[in-house]
Amino acid sequence: MPTTPATAAHSSSNGTADAIMLELVDENGTTIGTAEKLAAHQSPGQLHRAFSVFLFDEHGRLLLQRRALGKYHSPGVWSNTCCGHPYPGEAPFAAAARRTYEELGVSPTLLAAAGTVRYNHPDPMSGLVEQEFNHLFVGMVQEHLRPDEEEVGETAFVTSGELAERHAAAPFSAWFMTVLDAARPAIRELTGPSAGW
């Protein structure tokens, strides 16, 4: 993946991990400061910028991921293709493409903005809070997946009907339905009416 000023600032030359900082925003999505990632998610939560990606195959099936069990927030639950947080100063589109590649080993095609949604979702398991101004993206995936096992426990391509069955039977992230519903108009435009989204 290409290096941008924002990503270069978060790369460590000696192999140690720097604290991950998030961009705090107001209700309009205007940047107002930064906070350390875990601190921003501790109750009651600080409103911060995030993104969610929904990728589909050529059959109109949505790529889901089950979050790795080692993740401190919402481990082991199913969620959308990729989600995360831009670094301070990083464009949400660039962050979405970067994290999709880091987590799944693929670069999306036809990735397009699909609006924003603001929500406040506590996670009952961890006690953490998702207080987010979320930038939504939809696109296609045409490459073979190469998931990072530290990030992704499992992947699945599902139709709209299969998603409903899976959602009824397995735990999903607290934010999943909120971001999916907000992205549906763009998803329908991308996949067409026959896909059923």
Any idea which residues carry the catalytic annotation?
83, 132
d(CA 62, CA 54): 7
The strand pair at 78-79 and 129-140 is best described as: unpaired
Q: Measuring CA to CA, which residue among 185, 157, 176, 1 is closest to residue 94? A: 1
